[in-house]
Chain A
Amino acid sequence: MKDNINQSRILSDFSELAFHKNIPMHTTLEITHGCNFSCKHCYNFDRTQKKSFYDESEILSKDEILNAIDQVCEAGGMFINLSGGEPLTSPYIYDYIKRVKFNNSMARLKTNFSLINPERASLLYHAGIDQVEGSIYGIDEKTYEIFTSKKNFKNSIDGILELKKFNIDITANIIIHKYNYKDLDKMITLLTSLDVGYEFSDEITSRYDKSDSSCDMQINDQEFEELLLGSRGEAFWYNNKEKSLQCSCAKNVCAIALNGDVYPCIGAPIKAGNIKEDNFKKIWEESDLFNEIRGIKSANFKECMKCDYIENCSRSSGTTYINTGDYYGCDEQTLSQAKIRNKHKSKFKNAK
């Protein structure tokens, strides 16, 4: 029988070592911006307005993506997240998975599940996929249609079932938004009945193209408070007594956008270099931006250091950057949620 605590400790110790040695252990690669959904919250670009974010000439070719996989794995990339758009719209997804496995790394697919049919599940399995992490947006077709512009709830659940036939490790990421937050328990019950692990997040940000209508989908303060005081409240609690502000950006986390730009994290689209111009290792090791981020001290976060709510703040530098343009700044919604947690801190005095 697997010793989960020990297993988890081995990985967290290894991840911490990578953090201190600046090894891009967790790297996300955008392999396409094509998608069969038009999610209102999508962080890539406003899909209701246009079909793509980059010019065709800017997008990495298949060979360039394969080369990027080799370079990232050579630099220590252990967990390679193949992301999109919807990566299953790429005709080369199976080639990318095979290349990750050739490099002894873990191939993870970030998907919406809806395109996974018996044939694709088999192809993913035989290509060597290690993990599939997919988003779940609601408990019914109506919610899916509001949020993703498509009635794909059943297709998504069917996709999960097809993956399970091959015993593929699945995690569902429940995206909490204003149209589904009341259904959180139902979504968890459904996923539990399918024997699928889950995480959830209420983080919805502005987009790479600077548009911010995605934020219309965010839960508001009152809705957040309802969740915090609800049956899953502890999951929305955040305790930052150490006043820690440095995240994993450019330490053991990295991302490569579809045009080859290298970012400190997929959630922080700040260009450190481009793999069409320099090799990944050089950008990772020598970029001024990355070295600045690695040298960040708490004192760099001037607003945070004098904030009364820092101990309950779940601040993410990526979210803050994309919403405010300031990597060191303060995001309004994050602060509001920290204030709400602080208001109810007595309820969570025994929480971790």
Chain B
Amino acid sequence: MMNKLKRKDNLTWKEIENQIVIIDALTHQRVHKLNSTASFIWKNIDIPREDLLAKMEIEFEGDHSPMSSDLDICLEQLMSLGLLSER
């Protein structure tokens, strides 16, 4: 699933000190602030799912199964906010 998703075109996003803020101009400047886990996923969204999970396990020192669940929840939320699209 992972590598079928990409960031939606034309979003504005910047990171300061592990905080990512995204502005979606096409939805009248809707603003989103990501927590550190979502920020990590957002930055690495282009890599294959299993590679991302491995990176998450190292970054957050977590186990595979709960991390996989966190990843799916995060992706679902990002999708529901209209920030991701299918490749």
On A, residues with C-beta under 8 Å from B are 2, 7-8, 10-11, 14, 17-18, 21, 23, 25, 76, 78, 101, 104-106, 128, 130-131, 167, 169
Contact = CB atoms under 8 A, between A and B. Distances in A.
Contacts of A169: 25, 28-29
Contacts of A78: 12, 14, 21
Task: List the 7 closest A-B pairs by CB distance, nearest first.
Answer: A130-B25, A106-B12, A7-B31, A78-B14, A10-B33, A14-B21, A10-B31
Interface string B1-42: 000000001111110110101010111111111000000000
Contacts of A23: 16
Contacts of B29: 7, 130-131, 169
Contact of B28 (A2, A101, A128): A2
Contacts of B11: 104
Contacts of B31: 7-8, 10-11
Contacts of B26: 167
Q: At the interface, is chain A mostly helix, strand, loop or mixed? A: mixed
Question: In terms of DSSP, what is the predominant structure of the interface of chain B?
Answer: strand
A128 B8 CA distance: 12
A130 B33 contact: no
A7 B16 contact: no
B39 to A, nearest CB: 13
Contacts of A8: 31
B21 to A, nearest CB: 5
A54 to B, nearest CB: 31
B33 A14 contact: yes
Nearest to B12: A106
B17 A128 contact: no
28 contacts: A7-B30, A10-B21, A10-B31, A10-B32, A10-B33, A11-B31, A14-B16, A14-B19, A17-B16, A17-B19, A21-B16, A23-B16, A25-B14, A78-B12, A78-B14, A78-B21, A101-B10, A104-B11, A104-B12, A104-B13, A105-B12, A128-B9, A130-B10, A130-B12, A130-B23, A167-B26, A169-B25, A169-B28
Contact of A128 (B10, B23, B27): B10
Contacts of A17: 16-17, 19
B82 to A, nearest CB: 12
A106 B29 CA distance: 10
A17 B28 CA distance: 23
Given A2-B27, A11-B21, A25-B14, 19 more contacts: A7-B31, A8-B31, A10-B33, A11-B23, A14-B16, A14-B21, A14-B33, A17-B19, A21-B16, A23-B16, A76-B14, A101-B10, A104-B11, A104-B14, A106-B12, A128-B9, A130-B29, A169-B25, A169-B29
Contacts of B32: 10
A104 to B, nearest CB: 5
B33 A106 contact: no
A131 B25 contact: yes
Contacts of B16: 14, 17-18, 21, 23, 76
A212 to B, nearest CB: 37
Nearest to B24: A130
Contacts of B23: 11, 106, 130
Contacts of A18: 16
Contacts of A128: 9-10
Contacts of A14: 14, 16, 19, 21, 33
A245 B71 CA distance: 46
A108 to B, nearest CB: 10
